[in-house]
Chains A and B, each alone.
Chain A
Amino acid sequence: MKRLLAFVAALAASGVPAFAADPDVTDWATVLEEARGQIVYWNAWAGSEQINAYIGWVGKALYERHGVKLVHVKVDDTGNAVSAVVSERTAGRDTDGSIDLIWINGENFASMKRQGLLFEPGWATHLPNWRYVDAENKPTITTDFTIPTEGLESPWGMAKMVFFYDSARTEQGSLPDSADELLDWVKANPGRFSYPQPPDFIGSSFLKQVLLETTPDPAALLKPAEEADFDAVAGPLFDYLDEMHPYVWRGAKTFPKDYPSMSQLLADGELDITFAFNPGEASSAIANDLLPHTVRSFTFTGGTLSNTHFVAIPYNAASKAGALVLANFLISPEAQIRKQDPTVWGDPTVLSMDLLSDEDRTRFADLDLGIATLAPDQLGPVLAEPHPSWVAMIEQEWAKRYGVAN
């Protein structure tokens, strides 16, 4: 019995966190050394198996190279991770927090930045692999939904809203080229279009796309929503939805859960036009037998929503060094090439071809982006994300109007 007690006491003692100072990003050798043996809990959206498989590969590579063990904490809404950090701070758990890295952008980043819940500014720009990052030509890498990133988050991938259709069923010529044309198309093809139910982030992004195209006051969208006349700026969006909903899939009485569910519905022939936030999504889905090989992409010539997705470290993370090593690995040419491969995931890189070595540049150029992926010059203009405060406002209004269907 005594021995058992001693054992339990030893176990308990070993669980006591070793209080160490935050790692110094500029001293990378020490960061690597400190990271070895750490477990990094990475809270990342897990709705797509291709992405989960990619994260699995990252974990394996990270362990083999740096002795850092990666645990993918699967979340269906990044807001959960933010709320976990907030409640830890409120409960006084300022060290040894449960989350080491969060896949994040937009309103969640804005909220964490505002509340001071993120690890020190500038860590991202001091990562060794930052030198490859295309901060110069990709403005969304340094400005996330109008909020300056200030090195509080490290870019991971580029996103642009792209639509998909099955060329075996739908004529290319009949496709809409703007939100207004989409409305006409939906009326002409009832039951063949829908969008994920907000607050799913792809669903909310669709609302933002329509908002950007229909608002009479685009400048207001770049400022906090509280400063604007919400009804004047967003009213046309809801008029649009009022007009569209009688013709959408299932009469808007239920919605797809997220974009992979929409892809499934496209494959089933229930939907004719779907969309995702990744130009490589259709090619990736074709390569994974999720969509027929006749699926193709299109965008609007007036432009579609575009942004960057990041990783950030909570201020109270237990394994900051490990999280830094992971963030750095994610922007390595090797990890970025694999991510852009449509047979893996197909997510566009944040790196600049000009800054890469010849060898890496060739490997990027040799990637077969897939039959359904548009070339970069066909993707159309970029529409910048509105200020993050708009998301919460339009999601609330959406729930009020359509959350209870008749």
Chain B
Amino acid sequence: MLRFFPALAVAVLSLPILAGLAGTVVPAFGYLPALGGNTFSLAPFADLFSQPGLVRSCIIAFASGVLTAAISVGLVALFVAGWGQTRAFRFVEVSVSPLLAVPHAAAAFGLAFMIAPSGFLARLLSPWATGWTRPPDWLIVNDQLGLSLMAGLIVKEVPFLLLMTLAALPQVPVTASRRLAMTLGYGRVSGFLYTVWPSVYRQIRLAVFAVIAFATSVVDMAIILGPTTPASLPVRLVEWMNDPDLSARFMASAGAVLQLGVTLSALLFWLAIERIAGQMLRLCTLRGRRFRTDALARRAAFTAMALIAVIVFGGLGVLSLWSVSGLWQFPDVLPGSLSLRGWRQTIPRIGNPLWTTVTVGVAATLLSGILAIACLAREQQTGRSAGNQALFFIYLPLLVPQAGFVFGLKLLLLYAEGGATWSALVLVHLVFVLPYVFLSLSAPWRAFDRRYEAISAGLGKTAWTTFLAVRMPMLSRAILTALAVGFAVSVAQYLPTLLIGAGRLVTITTEAVALGAGGNRRVIGIYAFFQMVLPFLGFVLAALVPALLFRNRRAMKVA
């Protein structure tokens, strides 16, 4: 029974992607009988390349991927190097980690509410410091270079990479290496980068690739923060997909193929950056450059990290305040009056999206949990740990741009009856949730002390009993945390939900982005609030349930 699960997991991860890719590539060459395309042709690409501003849209997508990754990786490396194993590090880690659970759209709104010319920061400084009684006509949000978009991506990707790095550190002799480097007179930062970082980076490399793939193809953040004249490529793909003129669908498919190319070239470019950075690091190492005075770099890294936490959580706080504000004009720092009108209007209509969000999220998460546990149990049974190939399949949904295959899936669903069904949505979410559940569960699962199981077996218990009565309870905290991560991932899904749900099945996230376009800050505040609260509740449950279960088991307390 158990032996089928790894194959099943691989199928769940790869079949929708392969089918979706096929469903994208074939219409890109004009063939899709359901939409009246019966012959192969290059016309969709000709249409695509005649679109104004296409090159710029591609460059924005490309740059978002590469720059976001470079800055995020650099910041995380510098921060861990400069502050690892200090109390300040712990503080920042605790304040930045929850950002991982904040959906991209909510983080983007939070950022926009802080940095816009009429945003909170400008209000704090006006008019006493700036002299502004009206917001300046400055292009900050939706700027043409996509800087706001990149800032938004960085604040979301830094926590992700930081957590991946923290998970990788225990495999490396950090303390010993640091001590050695210091005794040889190297600075804190350079010592870490020379001795520890290369082996840490090797472990987080796939995660960095995932960041690049995500950033090149992000839609929801780009709608909120990205440029509009023209928009980045993934945003335009969605517009073409929704064009009343059906021939635009073929062009959208061709655009999705182009998107695959943009993401791939960003990844290839990154490989080149890796080489150059590696060479530079080696050169510095060989020359013995010690960089003993690195206080400035350390402080900059700390400030940047703290700033990320302050801006996003501040933004989310401001958003929450907007949800209960009356009229709140510039430059007032606080709303003139409070009102529950927005909540009263919204609450009766939030039930449906809330229900879809929760049921789809729970279903996709539970299925992922079962699959992940079964695969890990099988691995334990055979004694063979999943190799690089398995890891490749797990990362596959994170490396292929969503637009590249979700488009194809949607077109394939046209053939199937119904289309926008709840189960189709769960299946699509499963593709994205399973990798995260597996990744967060595998480390604690493999680290489990198997002597407990040996004792159980020695007491004559069956494998099942041992599994249910020993391993599951002892790992309950890790399992629930992995499920909470999975649920957060499901809540945050935008493009798959938008395309597969087709407006019939809406979640808090698709609603938030749709309403965000309308600029009603109270409503954005309410939806962003739910976007934050749902994942948060998941993590609270994951922390509370074991605490209750094991309230009289001292060894099971959190250290």
A interface residues, Cβ below 8 angstroms from B: 15, 41, 43, 46-49, 52-53, 56, 71-77, 79-80, 82-84, 86-87, 90-91, 98, 108, 111, 190-191, 197, 249-258, 260-265, 267-270, 288-292, 399-400, 402-405
Q: Once the chains bind, are A86 and B227 in contact (CB under 8 Å)?
A: no
Q: Once the chains bind, are A47 and B517 in contact (CB under 8 Å)?
A: yes
Q: Once the chains bind, are B519 and A258 in contact (CB under 8 Å)?
A: yes
Give residues 329-352 of B contacting A (CB, 8 Å).
Answer: 329-330, 337, 339, 341-342, 345-346, 348-349, 352
Q: Once the chains bind, are B415 and A91 in contact (CB under 8 Å)?
A: yes
Once bound together, how far apart are the Cα atoms of A290 and B137, in whole Å? 21
Q: Which residue of B lies closest to A51 (CB)?
A: B518
Query: Cβ of A405: which chain B residues have Cβ within 8 Å of it?
Result: 144, 229
Q: Once the chains bind, are A288 and B118 in contact (CB under 8 Å)?
A: no
Query: Cβ of B227: which chain A residues have Cβ within 8 Å of it?
Result: 254
Pairs A–B under 8 Å by Cβ, sample size 15: A48-B520, A49-B342, A87-B34, A87-B414, A90-B35, A253-B143, A254-B229, A262-B519, A268-B330, A269-B135, A270-B118, A270-B135, A290-B520, A399-B52, A403-B230
Query: Cβ of B420: which chain A residues have Cβ within 8 Å of it?
Result: 98
Q: Which residue of B lies closest to A249 (CB)?
A: B137
Give residues 520-548 of B contacting A (CB, 8 Å).
Answer: 520-523
Q: Once the chains bind, are A258 and B518 in contact (CB under 8 Å)?
A: yes
Query: Cβ of B35: which chain A residues have Cβ within 8 Å of it?
Result: 87, 90-91
Query: Cβ of A402: which chain B residues have Cβ within 8 Å of it?
Result: 229
Closest CB in chain A relative to B36 CB, distance in Å:
5
B56 within 8 A of A: yes
Q: Which residue of A lies closest to B227 (CB)?
A: A254
Once bound together, how far apart are the Cα atoms of A320 and B488, in whole Å? 39
B228 within 8 A of A: yes
Of B117, B134, B228, B418, which contacts A197 at CB under 8 A? B228
Of B34, B244, B522, which contacts A82 at CB under 8 A? B244
Q: A-B contact count, CB below 8 Å?
A: 158
Q: Which residue of A lies closest to B419 (CB)?
A: A98
Contact A270 B117, CB 8 Å, known A82-B244, A98-B502, A261-B518: yes
Once bound together, how far apart are the Cα atoms of A261 and B245, in whole Å? 27
Q: Which of B8-16, B454-462, B503-511 contacts its partner?
A: B503-511
Closest CB in chain B relative to A195 CB, distance in Å:
13
Q: Once the chains bind, are A404 and B229 in contact (CB under 8 Å)?
A: yes
Where chain B touches its partner, the secondary structure class is loop
Query: Cβ of B135: which chain A residues have Cβ within 8 Å of it?
Result: 268-270
B447 within 8 A of A: no
Q: Once the chains bind, are B52 and A400 in contact (CB under 8 Å)?
A: yes
Contact A250 B139, CB 8 Å, known A290-B520, A403-B230: yes
Contact A260 B349, CB 8 Å, known A98-B419, A197-B228: no
Q: Once the chains bind, are A73 and B503 in contact (CB under 8 Å)?
A: yes
The 10 closest A-B pairs by CB, nearest first: A261-B519, A404-B53, A191-B137, A79-B244, A268-B118, A405-B229, A269-B134, A254-B142, A264-B519, A260-B518
In this complex, the member of A48, A251, A288 whose beta carbon has the largest number of chain B beta carbons within 10 angstroms is: A288
B interface residues, Cβ below 8 angstroms from A: 34-36, 52-53, 56, 117-118, 133-135, 137, 139, 142-144, 227-230, 242-246, 249, 325-327, 329-330, 337, 339, 341-342, 345-346, 348-349, 352, 414-415, 418-420, 502-504, 506, 511, 514-515, 517-523
Q: Once the chains bind, are B339 and A289 in contact (CB under 8 Å)?
A: yes
Query: Cβ of B53: which chain A residues have Cβ within 8 Å of it?
Result: 403-404
Q: Which residue of B lies closest to A83 (CB)?
A: B244
Q: Once the chains bind, are B118 and A269 in contact (CB under 8 Å)?
A: yes
Q: Once the chains bind, are A49 and B244 in contact (CB under 8 Å)?
A: no
Q: Once the chains bind, are A79 and B242 in contact (CB under 8 Å)?
A: yes
Of B139, B245, B326, B348, which contacts A289 at CB under 8 A? B326
Once bound together, how far apart are the Cα atoms of A226 and B533, in whole Å? 53
Query: Cβ of A87: which chain B residues have Cβ within 8 Å of it?
Result: 34-35, 246, 249, 414
Q: Once the chains bind, are B228 and A255 in contact (CB under 8 Å)?
A: yes
Q: Which residue of A lies closest to B32 (CB)?
A: A90
Once bound together, how far apart are the Cα atoms of A18 and B181, in whole Å? 77
Once bound together, how far apart are the Cα atoms of A400 and B518, in whole Å? 25
Q: Once the chains bind, are B514 and A263 in contact (CB under 8 Å)?
A: no
Contact A83 B339, CB 8 Å, known A257-B519, A258-B517, A270-B134: no
Query: Cβ of B346: which chain A residues have Cβ within 8 Å of it?
Result: 49
Q: Once the chains bind, are B341 and A289 in contact (CB under 8 Å)?
A: yes
Closest CB in chain B relative to A376 CB, distance in Å:
28
Query: Cβ of A49: which chain B residues have Cβ within 8 Å of it?
Result: 342, 345-346, 515, 518, 520, 522-523
Q: Once the chains bind, are B517 and A261 in contact (CB under 8 Å)?
A: yes
Once bound together, how far apart are the Cα atoms of A15 and B421, in whole Å? 12
Q: Which residue of A lies closest to B140 (CB)?
A: A250
Q: Once the chains bind, are A75 and B330 in contact (CB under 8 Å)?
A: no
Q: Once the chains bind, are A260 and B519 in contact (CB under 8 Å)?
A: yes
Q: Once the chains bind, are B34 and A91 in contact (CB under 8 Å)?
A: yes
Query: Cβ of B230: which chain A residues have Cβ within 8 Å of it?
Result: 403-404
Q: Once the chains bind, are B327 and A75 in contact (CB under 8 Å)?
A: no
Q: Once the chains bind, are B515 and A46 in contact (CB under 8 Å)?
A: yes
Once bound together, how far apart are the Cα atoms of A262 and B135, in whole Å? 14
Q: Once the chains bind, are B521 and A264 in contact (CB under 8 Å)?
A: yes
In this complex, the member of B244, B327, B517 whose beta carbon has the largest number of chain A beta carbons within 10 angstroms is: B244
Once bound together, how far apart are the Cα atoms of A76 and B188, in whole Å? 53
Contact A254 B517, CB 8 Å, known A52-B349, A90-B35, A269-B134: no
Of A86, A257, A269, A404, which contacts B52 at CB under 8 A? A404
Q: Once the chains bind, are A80 and B503 in contact (CB under 8 Å)?
A: yes
Query: Cβ of B519: which chain A residues have Cβ within 8 Å of it?
Result: 256-258, 260-265
Once bound together, how far apart are the Cα atoms of A75 and B523, in whole Å? 17
Once bound together, how far apart are the Cα atoms of A98 and B419, in whole Å? 9
Query: Cβ of B504: which chain A residues have Cβ within 8 Å of it?
Result: 41, 71, 73, 98
Once bound together, how far apart are the Cα atoms of A90 and B34, in whole Å? 6
Query: Cβ of A404: which chain B residues have Cβ within 8 Å of it?
Result: 52-53, 56, 229-230
Once bound together, how far apart are the Cα atoms of A74 and B348, in whole Å? 16
Q: Once the chains bind, are B518 and A77 in contact (CB under 8 Å)?
A: no
Query: Cβ of B514: which chain A residues have Cβ within 8 Å of it?
Result: 46-47, 74, 76
Of B117, B244, B246, B327, which contacts A267 at CB under 8 A? B327
Q: Once the chains bind, are A288 and B341 in contact (CB under 8 Å)?
A: yes
Closest CB in chain A relative to B34 CB, distance in Å:
4
Closest CB in chain A relative to B176 CB, distance in Å:
53
Q: Once the chains bind, are B228 and A79 in contact (CB under 8 Å)?
A: no
Of A71, A76, A98, A270, which contacts B517 at CB under 8 A? A76
Contact A292 B139, CB 8 Å, known A87-B34, A98-B420: no
Q: Once the chains bind, are A56 and B349 in contact (CB under 8 Å)?
A: yes
Q: Once the chains bind, are B520 and A260 in contact (CB under 8 Å)?
A: yes
Query: Cβ of A250: which chain B residues have Cβ within 8 Å of it?
Result: 137, 139
Q: Once the chains bind, are B329 and A267 in contact (CB under 8 Å)?
A: yes
Query: Cβ of A400: which chain B residues have Cβ within 8 Å of it?
Result: 52
Q: Once the chains bind, are B327 and A292 in contact (CB under 8 Å)?
A: yes
Once bound together, how far apart are the Cα atoms of A74 and B134, in whole Å? 34
Once bound together, how far apart are the Cα atoms of A290 and B521, in whole Å? 9
Q: Which residue of A lies closest to B327 (CB)?
A: A289
Q: Once the chains bind, are A253 and B345 in contact (CB under 8 Å)?
A: no
Q: Which residue of A lies closest to B144 (CB)?
A: A253
Q: Which residue of B lies closest to A252 (CB)?
A: B229
Q: Once the chains bind, are B419 and A268 in contact (CB under 8 Å)?
A: no
Given A79-B243, A291-B327: 11 more A-B contacts, CB < 8 Å: A41-B504, A47-B518, A49-B342, A49-B346, A71-B352, A73-B503, A197-B229, A254-B139, A256-B519, A264-B519, A404-B53
In this complex, the member of A80, A190, A255 whose beta carbon has the largest number of chain B beta carbons within 10 angstroms is: A80
Once bound together, how far apart are the Cα atoms of A77 and B341, in whole Å? 27
Q: Once the chains bind, are A43 and B503 in contact (CB under 8 Å)?
A: yes
Q: Which residue of A lies closest to B246 (CB)?
A: A86
Q: Which residue of B lies closest to A72 (CB)?
A: B349
Query: Cβ of B244: which chain A residues have Cβ within 8 Å of it?
Result: 79-80, 82-83, 86, 108, 111
Closest CB in chain A relative to B245 CB, distance in Å:
8
Query: Cβ of B520: which chain A residues have Cβ within 8 Å of it?
Result: 48-49, 260, 264, 290
Once bound together, how far apart are the Cα atoms of A224 and B419, in whole Å? 36
Closest CB in chain A relative to B60 CB, distance in Å:
12
Query: Cβ of A76: which chain B residues have Cβ within 8 Å of it?
Result: 514, 517
Q: Which residue of A lies closest to B142 (CB)?
A: A254
